[in-house]
Structure 1
Amino acid sequence: MATNKSVITRRGVLRAFAATAVAAAPTYANAFGFNRGSGDIRSIAMYSGRTGESINTIYWIDGKYIKEAVAEINHFMRDWRTGGTIDIDLRTIDIISATRNLMDTDEPYMMLSGYRSPQTNAMLRSRSRAVARNSLHMSGQAADLRLKSRSVNQIFAAAKACHAGGVGKYSRSNFVHMDCGDVRTWGG
């Protein structure tokens, strides 16, 4: 069987589209542009080392969010300490998905923190100066994530390329914070 090395693959088209989107419009819309390159679907894949649960779902098709899938994501990203849930900001979900697409990986994220209740945030804040008093985690607008196959620097660079919100690099703790707040970066 002859092989043709110039065959256009779906991933190649996605990479080309993503590169064009970054150069063309460095604004919040980039996260949507990167996801648009996924075809007419958006998906998310994560697991939690805290609860042992995992999620791998398509949450958006043909311009519409799938209510049931978003509800599953909200439950998955709950405060595991209290069981409390909140509607996760759809922009945060899109940033998480777009960043993973940019890294061209099928590996699910390990989620360290999604939604945090005010009680959980206060407890974590009492243990660490790195926890913000008014953390976007408390409004369902942030997630702390890692991948085994990618370094913190690689994840940080991909999230930063979205120009879609806050991106924090926590090298010592081996995770990246992503949120849909103001575009900004921090960490080392």
Structure 2
Amino acid sequence: MTDHSVSGFTRRGILAAFAATAVVAAPTCSNAFGFLRGAGDVRRIRMYSGRTGESIDTVYWIEGEYIPEALNEITYFMRDWRSNETKEIDPRTVDIAAAAHALLDVSEPYMLLSGYRTAKTNALLRSSSRGVARNSLHMKAQAADLRLRSRSVSQMYRAAAACEAGGVGRYSRSNFVHMDCGPIRTWGS
């Protein structure tokens, strides 16, 4: 899509402003990518971080295209907060989280527990937890650990698994769900 500037406004900017006020239709398909392709012209993600106190509410996809500026904001938001380092977040992970959120039919934003992790952070977490993978997709910026106050881990897990698009892990004791854009698989209790 090419930006056509008229009086200081771009087509993309006008569409983003319009899309920010649009209501996204409820999903009708179980596959995350199929659902999002057929759900209209807008994809949106809402999250906050208890670690940094930051929040994000952004439309990141319009008319079949990702919005680079929005993906940059998401990448910064999902950074390794321990080291303040970023790595470009794989938009497929954001798609899965957005699709699962829509299936849950909630207005509450996700609480992001972990997005991108450096190898050093991953090693630190592995030293204190058996549930951290040595080659975690978090280190490739392809995973997110998420929580919702208004929905149980089981509800979130079922919604993410219904997307049939990536890995979904249920961590009931720690009260979060892992979502990634790797091979389709599920685990946890």
* TM-score normalized by the length of structure 2: 0.85
| Consecutive unaligned residues in structure 2, runs of 5 or more | 1-22
1:1-188 matches, cutoff 5 A: 14-15=26-27, 18=28, 21-22=29-30, 30-188=31-189
Q: Per-residue CA shift, 1:83-127, capped at 9, x if unaligned?
A: 010010111010010000111111100000000000000000011
CA distance, structure 2, for counterparts of residue 159 and residue 34 of structure 1? 12
Count of matched residue pairs: 167
Q: CA deviation at 1:138?
A: 0.1
Alignment-mate amino acid for residue 103 of structure 2: L
Q: CA deviation at 1:63?
A: 0.3
CA distance, structure 1, for counterparts of residue 45 and residue 86 of structure 2? 18
* TM-score normalized by the length of structure 1: 0.86
| Identical residues among aligned pairs (%) | 66
User: Secondary structure at 1:84's aligned position in 2?
Assistant: coil
Q: Per-residue CA shift, 1:5-49, capped at 9, x if unaligned?
A: xxxxx77x624xx2xx23xxxxxxx21222235420000000000
* Partner residue in 1 for 2:15: none
CA contact (8 A) 1:31 1:163 kept: yes
CA distance, structure 2, for counterparts of residue 173 and residue 37 of structure 1? 34
| Consecutive unaligned residues in structure 1, runs of 5 or more | 1-9, 23-29
User: Secondary structure at 1:125's aligned position in 2?
Assistant: helix
CA contact (8 A) 2:37 2:64 kept: no
Alignment-mate amino acid for residue 155 of structure 1: M
